[in-house]
Amino acid sequence: MPQPVRPASPLASSAETPLATHAWQPVLFAALAGGMGWGIRGQYGHETGAMIAGLLVSSTLVYLLCPRRSSLSVTRAVAWGTVAMGLGGSMTYGQTVGLTHDGPLLGNWAALRWGMLGLGIKGGLWIGLAGVFLGMGLGGIRYRVREMTLLMLALIGAYFMGTSLLNGPFDPANRKLPAIYFSDNWYWEPAGGITPRSECWGGLLAAFLLLVVYTGWARKDRLARNLAFWGMLGGALGFPLGQSIQAWAAWNRDFLSTGPLASIPFGVNWWNMMETTYGAVMGGVLGLGCWRNRHWINPVAPHARSELTGWTEVLLLLVHLPMLLTTEFLAIRAVDALYDLGLIMAIIPMVAILGGRWWPYLQIFPLTLIPIAGKTTRQLVYGESAIHFSAGWLIYFIGPLLIATLLTIYSIRREHDGEDGRVLVRRSLLWNTWIYFGLNYAFFHYPWPWATWTGRTPNGLIFTICAVGLTWLALHRR
DSSP H helices in 293-388: 310-329, 333-339, 342-345, 347-355, 359-362, 368-377
- Between CA 473 and CA 475 the distance in angstroms is 6
**Spatial contact of 321 and 352, defined as CB atoms under 8 Å apart:** no
Question: Which pLDDT score, from 0 to 100, does residue 180 have?
Answer: 96
Question: Over the stretch 138-168, which tens digit does the pLDDT of each residue have?
Answer: 998 999 999 999 999 999 999 999 999 999 9
pLDDT band at 208 (very low <50, low <70, confident <90, very high): very high
Q: Does residue 171 sit in helix, strand or coil?
A: strand
- Between CA 372 and CA 396 the distance in angstroms is 9
Question: Over the stretch 336-360, which tens digit does the pLDDT of each residue have?
Answer: 888 889 999 999 999 999 999 999 9
* Biggest CA pair distance of the chain: 73
- Between CA 204 and CA 200 the distance in angstroms is 7
* HSE, side-chain direction, 13 A CA sphere, residue 329: 17
Question: Which pLDDT score, from 0 to 100, does residue 325 have?
Answer: 93
CB atoms within 10 A of CB 424: 28
pLDDT band at 442 (very low <50, low <70, confident <90, very high): very high
CB atoms within 10 A of CB 423: 16
List own/partner pairs for 370-373 with CB under 8 A and 24 or more apart. 370/321, 370/324, 370/325, 370/401, 371/44, 371/48, 371/49, 371/324, 371/325, 371/328, 372/44, 372/48, 372/49, 372/52, 372/436, 372/439, 373/397, 373/400, 373/401, 373/439
Q: Which residue has the higher pLDDT, 21 or 211?
A: 211
Q: Which of 250-254, 266-270, 411-415 has the lowest mean pLDDT?
A: 266-270
Task: Name the average pLDDT for the chain.
Answer: 91
Question: Which pLDDT score, from 0 to 100, does residue 14 have?
Answer: 38
- Between CA 397 and CA 270 the distance in angstroms is 29
